[in-house]
Amino acid sequence: MEATGIAATSPAALPRRLQAQSPRYGEKVIYGLLAACAVLSVVTTTAIVISLIVPSIQFFGDVSITDFLFGTDWGPSFEPASFGVLPIVVGTLSVTFWALIFAIPIGLGAAVYLSEYASPRVRKLIKPVLEILAGVPTIAFGYFALIFITPQIQKIWPGHFLGGPPLIFSVLAGGLAIGLMIVPIIASISEDAMSAVPRGLREGAYALGATKAKVATRVVFPAALSGIVASVILAISRAIGETMVVLIAVGNTPQLTFSPVKSVQAMTAFIGTTATGDIPTGSTIYKTIFAVALLLFLMTLAMNLLSVRLVRRYRQVYE
Amino acid sequence: MTAEFDPRSARAQVAIAGAKGVTAEVLSTQPRKDVIRNTIFASLLFLAIAIALAGLCVLVGKNLVDGWSRLNLDLITQNNSSNPAEAGLRNAIIGTLWIMLFVIGMLVPLGVGAAVFLEEYGNRNSRLIRLIEVNIQNLAGVPSIIYGLLGLAFIARAPLNLGYVVLTAAMTLTLLVLPVVILASREAIRAVPASIREGSLALGATKWQTIRRQVLPASIPGIATGVILAISRAIGETAPLIPLGAATFVTFTPGPFTDFTAMPVTIFNWVKQPQPEFQALAAAGVLLLIALLVVMNSFAIWLRNRYEQTW
């Protein structure tokens, strides 16, 4: 009886019965509001791109792109002004280089230790401390570089070695402070990648007679490599974009040098010292700031896209 | 006929002890070179983590030694001044509080709203959702000084033209830390099992009622953790405020609609002063800032571990 009752319902009536009795305008309003929140991120990116590109296009109307990218003389506020961006790009890259020289061995060592060697108790103790290190404000690292790292470098640097003696502002001091700052990024993301390596791989290697060090270096490390590389790329992007440390400890001397103990100007330091709020919109120096910022944005964007892609790859393999 | 194996029997005990002995003997004949290599490797790893922790300790210790003489109540009860003997962080702390009030007011609805949309309404395969996801990941990696330039070009000047006020600083910092809240909230919302939602919907609740009464309350600890981490990041940021006119030496007490100042900005100004008295003051200020952020972060981490729910 009942079965025939259902069958008797005309098919056209069925969809109506599944829908809500009232139109639910409130639900639609909420949907719209939530969608607006999510779309805000796209609006932000668009605003960043527009605010960087419009003054940059005006800038490249005054200065040719090749002069900008390959010029070796940076003095946009001097008379006559010169707009060769290479000295400050090299400044940024050499600070990043010294940061990585410090942070990669320390960060990866800490990651392998936490993932493969530490007992659960030790890990529970050390991981939060690393997270605290990640929460220290950047100005603290900059100040630390100036008042602690610089005097130490000046004390132990062997005379004229590599362009010494070291000055009050130096690439190395800023680089080491940024290195300490990015250790938690490398350590925690790499540790996640290593912990995601299935136990079976480790046990298989042990069963074949491998020692613990061999399991860590020849099994776990290669298996987690894409995550490890992603963590390093993310750290590079953070080091390139760091402003306060270079502003405080590396100085503002735009010169093309590879010496670790000379003062240079990094790209972010140029922006930080020149963009101070009272700068007139549309002036050449205003446009220069945005051209440098556009270059910085493109450098970090490339790093981030690469890192996101690598992280996705290692997730797909083991989850 | 074989007897059932009883691990507590005397014969089994003897066999187990024998097996243990053989295993131990095989393992102890591990080549000496391997043993030495292993020990060196392990100690190098330990050295790496010790250096990182020592760096943190020296950083705090150096500021403690340098700033000890200025670590007293005057640090938080005196306004900033060009006379280092009288200068303090009072107006900077009030400025930071105003900025944070506005940041929280914008950050929580925008961040949680975006996370709810992406998790509950978004179709995983739609182009728009994928675009938003990649976009948020990239925004998280944009250098903070570029947000400062965005604030300068878009918020302080035309089109929004708000000037260099507390609201401008708050909007800039909100955009900067929004990805942190969105990512944390999404994880928290995703962790709520589908059965909770289905139960609520089956009882006749609408989608929004389900989200508001079931999903959001269950994900509050995760969301709160993200919000606290985001706010502590916003408190410590100096770089995005520099293009917004923060480099000037502010000695007055900011209100909600005046020019702004903030703790890291004032400390940065002290760092730049040549007098040694200002250096002691800067060290004490850095210490206060670190202490504040460490307390906030520890609370967030504790909250995450304490209320981590397994369904």
**What pLDDT does residue A4 have?**
46
B153·A290 Cβ contact <8 A: yes
pLDDT at B306 exceeding the cut of 70: yes
Which residue is listed with tokens 């995983």? Answer: B124
Whether residues B240 and B176 fall in one domain: yes
Whether residues B18 and B125 fall in one domain: no
Whether residues B32 and B109 fall in one domain: no
Q: Is B3 within the bounds of a domain?
A: no
Average pLDDT, rounded, for chain B = 88
Q: Which of A246, A226, A91, A273 is nearest to A169 (CA)?
A: A246
pLDDT tens-digit series, residues B259-298: 888 999 999 999 988 888 899 999 999 999 999 998 998 8
Asked if B290 is an interface residue toward chain A (Cβ–Cβ < 8 A), one would say yes
Of B23, B40, B70, the last residue of a domain is B70
Whether residues B54 and B86 fall in one domain: no
Whether residues B58 and B97 fall in one domain: no
Q: Which residues are bridge partners to B165 per DSSP?
A: B259
Residue B246 CA to residue A276 CA, distance in Å, equals: 7
Q: Is B169 within the bounds of a domain?
A: yes
What average pLDDT does this structure show over B289-309?
86
pLDDT tens-digit series, residues A158-207: 877 787 788 889 999 999 999 999 999 999 999 988 988 899 999 999 99
A34·B207 Cβ contact <8 A: no
B289·A113 Cβ contact <8 A: no
Whether residues B234 and B134 fall in one domain: yes
Whether residues B18 and B152 fall in one domain: no
A276·B242 Cβ contact <8 A: yes
Of B30, B49, B70, the last residue of a domain is B70
For A80-114, give the DSSP string.
S-EE--HHHHHHHHHHHHHHHHHHHHHHHHHHHII
- Of B152, B179, B242, Cβ closest to residue A272: B242
**What pLDDT does residue A3 have?**
46
CA distances (Å), B303 to each of B66, B220, B260, in order? 33, 10, 32
**What pLDDT does residue A96 have?**
96
Structurally, chain B folds into a number of domains equal to 2
Asked if B34 is an interface residue toward chain A (Cβ–Cβ < 8 A), one would say yes
| Complex confidence, ipTM | 0.87
Buried-exposed string B6-17: b where 16+ CB fall within 10 A, e elsewhere:
eeeeeeeeeeee
Q: Is B165 within the bounds of a domain?
A: yes
Residue B121 CA to residue A32 CA, distance in Å, equals: 11
Domain that residue B61 falls in: 10-70
CA distances (Å), A249 to each of A74, A144, A172, B91, in order? 20, 9, 9, 27
Residue A199 CA to residue A220 CA, distance in Å, equals: 10
Whether residues B252 and B129 fall in one domain: yes
Of B70, B87, B107, the last residue of a domain is B70
pLDDT tens-digit series, residues B25-76: 776 666 778 888 889 999 999 999 999 999 999 999 999 999 998 888 888 8
Three-state SS for B192? coil
**What pLDDT does residue A307 have?**
84
Q: Which of B31, B178, B30 is nearest to B103 (CA)?
A: B178
Gap from B155 CA to chain A (nearest CA, Å)? 10
- Residue ranges of domains in chain A, CATH in brackets: 74-318 (1.10.3720.10)
* Cβ neighbours around B223 below 10 Å, total: 21
Q: Is B1 within the bounds of a domain?
A: no
Gap from B294 CA to chain A (nearest CA, Å)? 6
CATH of the domain at B195: 1.10.3720.10
Asked if B46 is an interface residue toward chain A (Cβ–Cβ < 8 A), one would say yes
If one compares B86 and B174, the residue with the highest pLDDT of the two is B174
**What pLDDT does residue A5 have?**
46
- Of A42, A55, A303, Cβ closest to residue B132: A42
Would you give the DSSP letter of residue B259? Answer: B
- Of A34, A180, A244, Cβ closest to residue B121: A34
Which portions of chain A are predicted below pLDDT 70? 1-20, 277, 314-319
A256, with CB counted inside 10 A (0-12, 13-18, 19+), is middle
- Of B150, B245, B298, Cβ closest to residue A278: B245
pLDDT at B142 exceeding the cut of 60: yes
Three-state SS for A74? strand
- Of B110, B238, B271, Cβ closest to residue A37: B110
- Of B143, B175, B236, Cβ closest to residue A44: B175
Whether residues B152 and B199 fall in one domain: yes
The tokens for A103 are: 């942070």
Q: Is B252 within the bounds of a domain?
A: yes
B164·A277 Cβ contact <8 A: yes
Whether residues B107 and B38 fall in one domain: no
Q: Is B5 within the bounds of a domain?
A: no
A277·B248 Cβ contact <8 A: yes
Q: Which of residues 79-138 of B touch A (CB under 8 A)?
A: 109-111, 113-114, 116-118, 121-122, 131-132, 134-138
If one compares B184 and B123, the residue with the highest pLDDT of the two is B184
CB-CB neighbors (< 8 A) of A110 in chain B: 45, 48-49, 52
Q: Which of residues 215-274 of B touch A (CB under 8 A)?
A: 229, 232-233, 235-239, 242-248, 264, 267-268, 271
3-state SS of B101-119 is: HHHHHHHHHHHHHHHHHHH
Whether residues B299 and B261 fall in one domain: yes
B178·A41 Cβ contact <8 A: yes
Q: Name the closest residue on chain B to residue A140, using Cα atoms.
A: B286
**What pLDDT does residue A317 have?**
59
Whether residues B30 and B116 fall in one domain: no
The tokens for A268 are: 């972010």
Asked if B42 is an interface residue toward chain A (Cβ–Cβ < 8 A), one would say yes
